[in-house]
Structure 1
Amino acid sequence: MDQLRPLGRSIDDVLLPTFGAYAQNLIAKEKEIRSTRQETHPYGFAPRHKLDVYYPDANKKPDAAFRAKPVLIFFYGGGFVTGNKVNQDYAHSLVYANLGHYFAAHHGFTVVIPDYRLVSHGAKYPSGGEDLKLAIDWVVQTLTKQAGYESIDLFVLGNSAGGIHTATYLLDPAFKESRAAITAQERSGPGVLLRAIFMLGVPFHWGSEDNAVLRTYLGEEDGKIWAHSSLGVLESEKKKNNGAPPPSLPGTKVSVLVSELDPELMQESGKQFQKEWETANITYDVLDGHNHISPQLGLGTGIEKEEAWGAQVAEVCKASATK
């Protein structure tokens, strides 16, 4: 983390140097990271629809804060064009196994990391929200069939573009029925309840940016880049409700997380998103010392200051869990 500040804020500038800075820290923990049991399953209709599941140690007593089984879905970033549940080209293919291991081994979560459709697979808005829905459907329809998973408290961590897809699922009316099926103020029986959402390093709009990738995913017509941004969808839903924000998700905490060294637009748009969605139980927090790439790479390193944000996420999940 100490090497990050001189790199600046631009994602293009910090990307490769940040990966380079963390590689040896992860490799040093390779044996521990690989000790976490992992399975791969299909979850949808496309070849891309595969997900990895990381399981906590079956012999370790779960945290007393969780009465239902805690399950965390992680939707990684990549600007709509890159990203894989396992990065084969970096640090002995330990990313994102490090994140799965961290939350499973240290906090008792079952961690689900899906691959989702990118632009090269024909992804167009709202396919990211559709893929998150399919991953949630897999948890509801398949994971709950495993012994001990009859009752699940579900948590979602969306990073960068994955956070945009998470916001799409939360706000777009196309997913209203799916959201209603997994949200409630209190648990009334077995099944899956969404308890907290984390959006890490998310651009909730792009300002004046207009490029081929944004137009390909969000729409070629003028105005679609804004209209299909998270704040644009929120604005549209407000207009439908005569200026009122969409209802909050009952029983669900929403947490906007930005890194201290994130691009300023992400910090500004995160604050704006919190302000505009005033009916939600939503907070805004800054991860000290991190940049746009480092939080997810710091997990599993065993370095306290690198993993502090993960511990913070776990504490919020515990506070949001079924009582």
Structure 2
Amino acid sequence: MDKLKPLGRSIDDVLLPTFAAYAQFIIDKENEIRSTRRETHHYGFTPRHQLDIYYPDKEPVAPFRAKPVLVFLYGGGFVGGDKVNQGFAHSLVFGNLGHFFASHYGFTVVIPDYRLISHGAKYPSGGEDLKLVVDWVKASLSQQQGYESIDLFFLGNSAGGIHVTTYLLAPEFKESREAVVAEERTGAGVLLKGAVLLGVPFHWGGEDNAILRAYLGEGKIQENSSIGILEKEKKKGAEPTLPGVKISILVSELDPDLIYDSSKQFKEEWKSADITYDVLEGHNHISPQLGLSTGIEKEEAWGVQVAEFIKSGATK
């Protein structure tokens, strides 16, 4: 983390140097990371629709009435990202994230691959893919012994966070959302309890480039941004409400200014939601997920914060 500040705030500038800075820390914990049981499952209608599930080897620290299940959607700017980064740190990322939450807190972690632009992704495909993951959790994971009652949480980073907000806001997913939200748990089944939005650009200001046009649509970059969707729903008198669901917005200290500004605006705009906003000291846009399972307290502090958020929202 001490090497990050001189790198600046631009995502392009910090990307490769940040990966280089963390590689050995992760490799040093390889045996521990690989000790967490991982299974791969197909969850959708294309070969890309694969997910990894990381199982805890112990019950959660707190005595919950339902199994906490965390779905992590990584970033990659609509063009990159995989549930296992084959070219970095002995392919331990994002197994390090799955291991961290499963081994330390007893959470079950689901990390799906979702469609990128190279797979034909176009808004609202990110929300569609997250809906498919929710459907898989309801149809498959909930059938496993001990998973009859599930408290579901989302953790979306950057582009992954955009897909989470698409699912939470867009009218296309209203029926799916309503099937998994309630003020309180009354029985078995899957209940959405919280979403963490990490380093998410909720709009792009005046940015207009080929990638944004390809995913969000020609002339629809603002309209299909997270804030654009929210504003459109509010004008219709249909601001999404998520009873029983907490939202946590996390911004890294060294994130680009646009992420700071759009995050604060998003919190102010979504008045019906239960939202908190926090800044992760010392981190940049890339470093939080790489810091997990390194065993370094200040690197993992944000993961502890997410775990506490999950524990606070889980069914007691």
TM range (shorter): over 0.9
Equivalent positions of 1:244-263 (< 5 A) are 246-263=239-256
Aligned counterpart for 1:182 among listed residues 180, 183, 190? 180
Letter in 1 for 2:66: A
Aligned equivalents of 1:302, 1:130: Cα separation in 2 = 35
What is the CA–CA distance in structure 1 between the aligned matches of 2:289 and 2:157, rounded to whole Å? Answer: 9
- Partners of 1:281 and 1:169 in 2: how far apart? 17
Structure 2 residues not aligned, in runs of 5+: none
2-side partners of 1:43 and 1:101: how far apart? 21
Q: Which residue of 1 aligns with 2:116?
A: 118
Query: 1:185-224, aligned counterparts within 5 Å?
Result: 185-220=183-218, 222=219, 224=220
Q: 1:295 and 1:34 mapped to 2: Cα distance?
A: 20
Deviations 1:167-195 (A, max 9, x none): 00000000000000000011111000001
Q: Structure 1 counterpart of 2:222, which letter? A: W
1:236 paired with 2:229, answer no
- 8 A contact 2:233–2:240 mirrored in 1: no
Identical pairs, percent:
73
**Contact map agreement 1:159 1:202 (CA 8 A) in 2:** yes
CA distance in 2, matches of 1:61, 1:258: 30
Given the alignment of the two structures, is residue 171 of structure 1 paired with residue 164 of structure 2, yes or no? Answer: no
Render the CA deviation track for 1:72-110: whole Å, top value 9, x for unaligned. Answer: 000000000000000000000000000000000001110
CA deviations on 1:281-302 (whole Å, 9 max, x unpaired) are: 0111100000000000000101
For 1:273 and 1:30, how far apart are their aligned partners in 2?
38
Q: Is the 8 A contact 2:122 2:214 kept in 1?
A: yes
CA contact (8 A) 2:168 2:240 kept: no
Paired residue for 2:42? Answer: 42
CA contact (8 A) 1:248 1:281 kept: no
Distance 2:255 2:99 in 1: 25
* Distance in 2 of aligned mates of 1:130 and 1:48: 13
- Conserved? CA contact 1:71–1:155, under 8 Å: yes
Distance in 2, Cα, partners of 1:128 & 1:96: 19
- Cα shift at 1:48: 0.2
What is the aligned partner in structure 1 of residue 273 from structure 2? 280
Aligned to 1:25: 25
Question: Match of 2:70, SS?
Answer: strand
2:169/2:240 contact within 8 Å kept:
no
> CA offset at residue 259 of structure 1?
0.1
Per the alignment, residue 15 of structure 2 pairs with: 15
Residue-by-residue CA offset, 1:37-74 (whole Å, 9 max, x unaligned): 000000000110000000000xx342224220010000
Q: Is this contact kept in 1: 2:150–2:191, CA < 8 A?
A: yes
Partner of 1:321: 314
Equivalent-residue separation in structure 2 for 1:143 and 1:9 (angstroms)? 39
1:99 aligns with 2:92: no
Deviation at 1:248, TM superposition (A): 2.3
In structure 2, the CA distance between the partners of 1:68 and 1:137, relative to structure 1 (3 Å rule), is same
Which whole-Å CA distance do the structure 2 matches of 1:99 and 1:152 have between them? Answer: 20
Aligned length: 316
Cα separation, 1, equivalents of 2:69 and 2:212: 31
Verify: 1:269 aligned to 2:265, yes or no: no
After TM superposition, the structure 1 = structure 2 runs for residues 150-165 of structure 1, keeping only pairs within 5 Å, are: 150-165=148-163
8 A Cα contact 1:253 1:282, kept in partner = yes
Task: Check the 8 A contact 1:160/1:200 in 2, yes or no.
Answer: yes
Report if aligned partners of 2:44, 2:50 keep a CA contact under 8 Å in 1: yes
Distance 1:5 1:187 in 2: 44
Give distance in 1, aligned partners of 2:194 and 2:5: 30
Tell me by how many angstroms 1:246 deviates.
1.2
Q: In the TM superposition, what are the counterparts of 1:46-61 in structure 2 within 5 Å?
A: 46-57=46-57, 60-61=58-59
Q: Is residue 2:60 matched to residue 1:62?
A: yes
SS at match of 2:41: strand
Equivalence for 1:129 = 127
Opposite residue 77 of structure 1, the aligned amino acid is G
CA contact (8 A) 2:62 2:311 kept: no
Aligned match of 1:305:
298
In structure 2, what is the Cα distance between the partners aligned to 1:23 and 1:290?
A: 16
Displacement of 1:233: 0.2
With structure 1 as the length reference, what TM-score do the two structures score? 0.97
Separation in structure 2 between the aligned mates of residue 269 and residue 248 of structure 1, nearest angstrom: 20
